[in-house]
Structure 1
Amino acid sequence: MFLKLFLKNRPTLPGHLLKLKKDLKKKKKLHAPLPPPEARIVQDIENRTSGLNLNNITRTKAYLDFHVKFPEIHWAFLAHMVSRNGGWNMTDLKGGLVGRLLTKNEAEAFFTFLERCNWLIFQDAFPQLLLYEGSRKHGRKLFHLLPHLGVSAFMEAVWNYFWEERDSYTITMGLVVNEQNYLESRVLDNPAFKENVFTSLEFLLQDVLSMNHILFPYSPGGRTELAGLTVHQFEDLEERILIGGKLYKILFKDEERLKRVKEWALANPHTGSRKDYWPNLFNDVEEFMPGSELKPRILACQLVPRAPRIFSPRLQYAWPNQKHPPAEPGDWFTDSDAVHHLLKTEEHIDDDIKTYYCKTLQQLDLAAIAKKAILSRSQPGGEHIITQHLEK
């Protein structure tokens, strides 16, 4: 079903994807018990993954460390930058803008959703990266071990193709397709998240406010610049896959900017605070004095004179590490037509996001002020008034 729109009037697959599709159609043999050396490889990968899957900070760093060792795996750097955004979204829930719009229960529900997505992707994708590292170390393909790590049959075929062709685009998009399908049944179709997150007022506000920006910071000449994309229709699998492809192009299409984004990432360890990329606007210490009057403080991505910076806490102080139940079993891959998502597209992507993001910050600032005024008057239906105000 999720391919219906994509496959309508679909283009002919090029030769390399036809071969990959043929491989995907092959009936997979049941994997026999592993010999001890390969069983030890699987166990080591599981242990290493578990040790790094503690929180958003450890995951984000692990992706970057891997990309530094294996720069041909573009997805690892894309995952690093997207995971940074996940951490910023987590701390926003306790910060000086979004945090003022949410109740404690709402913030916890949103954090649980973001954390579960972040955890699930890492526990599925990072073993794949480590198995590639092991294949390089041993000088032979080890991707037949992927099913023993709970990874989809789709990725076994894609990794085997990458080993032969070293096609960074195809392995990146393969991982994007895999991760989004992996999340679909485990999170997006989860009744608890549907009830507590997707149908809540604040999730609707997220779309109204365009809070869901994915930002790629860099610092030419010492000033903060941002590339990226605004995400809408997060619940739609097809849209999330397309967004993943767009983010990859934004990050890797301009070699000079990619170099600067990497330099920024290496020079600024991820803390979860937006101070990491914009210290003139954000601070990980609360500067707003309790009892002070809330006034508009953001104009054109700058603070008005003498205004306190926006509170954006570090993740370690905002949220404790979480204990996760095991990932739900099952392989999403049932249709070899999924390979059509690996086709390259040539569409133009507007990646100049700074102006839109600055407008979002101003809107959030005004929304927080409006909510405080409404609550102080105990006016019924205040949240809907905020929504209507922001839609204008």
Structure 2
Amino acid sequence: MKEFFVKKKLTKKKLSDHLIPMKNQLKKKEGTPSSCESAVLPSKDKMLLEQIKAQTAALNLNNVTRTMAYLNFYLHYPEIHWAFLGHVVSRNGGWNMTDLKGELLVKLLNERRREDYFLFLERGNWLIFQDIYPQFLLYAESVKQNRNLFYLLPYLHVSVFMEVVWNDFWNRGDSYTLAIAQVINEQSYLEKRVVKNPVYQEKVLYTFEFLLQELLSFNHILFPYSEPDHEGGTALVGMTLDYFGSLHERIVLGKHLYRLLFSDQRLWRKVLGWCIAQPHTGSRKDYWPHLFNDVHEGLPGTIYKRLKKCQLKKGFPRFYSPRLEFAWKNVVQEDAEEGDWFNRWDVIYYLEKDHEKKSGDIEDDYCETLENLEFAASAKTAFSK
């Protein structure tokens, strides 16, 4: 019901002139997802599609390979803003994955629950990459050949929504519209496959709702950037997702994160510089080595109360935050579920620019989350003895 009222509110706005042609195209596509038959394609197109699929599969091994692939693509094609946004958000996904094998959550969740949650995160991370990275590779080939190849998107099972948007980008070069469209597309793509999937709802979303929101810091998206005066040399900005189960909330958060990352050139340069200098490992040591280490420094079974306002008490060990390669094995995924999410042209209203400014101040909230997590782990350990 909430999503219905949100859509009604959005569609009361007057649509900007530059979006009208896209609206007309989407209305034609609405309810008639494109079908394709590879046999009608020229051999060179078939070969290109196979190359794209193979290259995507080779990089879709785990969170680290995906995350770095996004950054490498962005460095070659900086006009594709989502590639950088996707990179920094995907880093957060990796940190959430390794938290499940870190020092604190092993005291709060049993092994089966931690594995269920990892598989939930991994499936979402994998699905997004296998949907969006072929789009990137097709764009790169279009640039190389200096011709529009987006008629091939249906053969890669990409939504007709993105086919319309890519054609618009090819003509107008509007990086903002493309990036927000990709936010809409990827979150809508996940909606039925992960968020509304009965298996994940039963094993993860319903069971862990409190932990997801309050303890796992799943709702904190952190953007690290170099700041010499900050302890550890890295400061954080970011935002918090209030309700993961809402498609609308996830899209709006994506728009706010985009604005935070790209509206301030000084911050953008700092975040990008940090990401280039610090390869993604999955360990939270990547951004705060004064608090986290990828080697376990503490004694097994020992209860610590070491943290206050993100400061370690003198002489206490850092939190254990493993690298992804040592925390989880690669997962062989089943093929993505078929089907096109697009069935309403009015999602285009999300492409309108918002002028609401968000501060991005998140360090205090994040530090409070860490303190709460440590307290909960210590309390449960003490109670179980």
1:2-41 counterparts in 2 under 5 A?
2=3, 4-8=5-9, 10-27=12-29, 30-31=35-36, 33-41=40-48
- Tell whether 2:328 aligns with 1:300: no
1:204: which partner in 2? 210
Output one character per residue of 1:78-115: Cα deviation in whole Å (capped at 9) or x when no partner: 00000000000000001012332111011001000000
Aligned residue type for 1:237 = L
**Partner of 1:250 in structure 2?**
260
- Which of 239, 246, 259 does residue 269 from structure 2 map onto? 259
Tell me which residue corresponds to 1:349: 358
SS at match of 1:169: helix
The residue number in structure 2 matching 1:131 is: 138
Deviations 1:204-245 (A, max 9, x none): 123234712100001122622101011121011111111111
Q: CA deviation at 1:355?
A: 0.9
Unaligned runs of 5+ in 2: none
Alignment of 1:1-392 (within 5 A): 2=3, 4-8=5-9, 10-27=12-29, 30-31=35-36, 33-200=40-207, 202-209=208-215, 211=217, 212-221=219-228, 223-292=233-302, 294-376=303-385
Report the aligned-residue RMSD: 1.4
For the 8 Å contact 1:50–1:123, the answer to whether it is kept is yes
Relative to structure 1, the CA distance from residue 126 to residue 270 in structure 2 (aligned partners, 3 Å threshold; closer, same or farther) is same
Residues 283 and 309 of structure 1 are in contact (CA less than 8 Å); yes or no, is this contact kept in structure 2? yes
Moved over 3 A (4+): 1-4, 27-32
Question: What do the CA deviations read for 1:96-153 (whole angstroms, capped 9, x no partner)?
Answer: 1233211101100100000000000000000001110010011001001000000000
8 Å Cα contact 1:250-1:349 kept in structure 2 = yes
Q: How many residues align?
A: 374
Letter in 2 for 1:37: K
Tell me how far apart the structure 2 counterparts of residues 177 and 290 of structure 1 sit (CA, whole Å).
44
Find the aligned partners of 2:60 and 2:212 in 1 and give their Cα distance: 27
Whole-angstrom distance in 1 between the partners of 2:362 and 2:327: 27
- The TM-score normalised by the length of structure 2 is 0.94
| 1:255-290 Cα shifts (integer Å, max 9, x gaps) | 011101111000000000000011010000000112
Mapped partners of 2:5, 2:191: distance in 1: 16
Structure 1 contact 56–83 (Cα < 8 Å) conserved: yes
Determine the C-alpha separation between the residues in 1 that align with 2:273 and 2:220. Answer: 21
For the Cα contact (< 8 Å) 2:283–2:324, is it kept in 1?
Answer: yes
Specify the SS of the correspondent of 1:218. strand
**Helix, strand or coil: the match of 1:221?**
coil
Percentage of pairs with the same residue: 50
- Distance of 1:298 and 1:217 partners within structure 2: 20
Cα offset for 1:30? Answer: 4.8
Instruction: Measure, in 2, the Cα distance between the counterparts of 1:4 and 1:203.
Output: 24
Q: Could you say which residue in structure 2 is the equivalent of 1:388?
A: none
Q: 1:122 to 1:145 in 2, by over 3 A?
A: same
Residues of 1 paired with 2:245 and 2:337: CA distance?
A: 19
Q: CA deviation at 1:317?
A: 0.3
8 Å contact 1:210–1:230 — kept in the other structure?
Answer: no
Bigger relative contact order, structure 1 or 2 (CA pairs below 8 A, ≥6 apart): 2
Rounded to whole Å, the distance in 1 between the matches of 2:36 and 2:340 is 15
| SS of residue in 2 equivalent to 1:90 | helix
Greater CA drift, 109-118 or 217-226: 217-226
User: Shift in Å at residue 348 of structure 1?
Assistant: 2.1
1:31 positional shift: 4.0
Q: How far is the alpha carbon of 1:19 from its aligned partner?
A: 1.1
Matched to 1:337, the amino acid is D
Q: TM-score scaled by structure 1?
A: 0.93
- Equivalent pair of 2:214/2:369 in contact (CA under 8 Å): no
What is the DSSP-based 3-state SS (H/G/I as helix, E as strand, rest coil) of the residue aligned with 1:216?
Answer: strand
Q: CA offsets per residue over residues 176-200 of structure 1, 9 Å max, x none? A: 0000110011011111101100111
User: Matches of 1:136 and 1:3 in 2, distance apart?
Assistant: 39
Answer yes or no: is the 8 Å Cα contact 2:35–2:154 preserved in 1.
no
**Change over 3 Å in CA distance of 1:82–1:54 after alignment to 2:** same
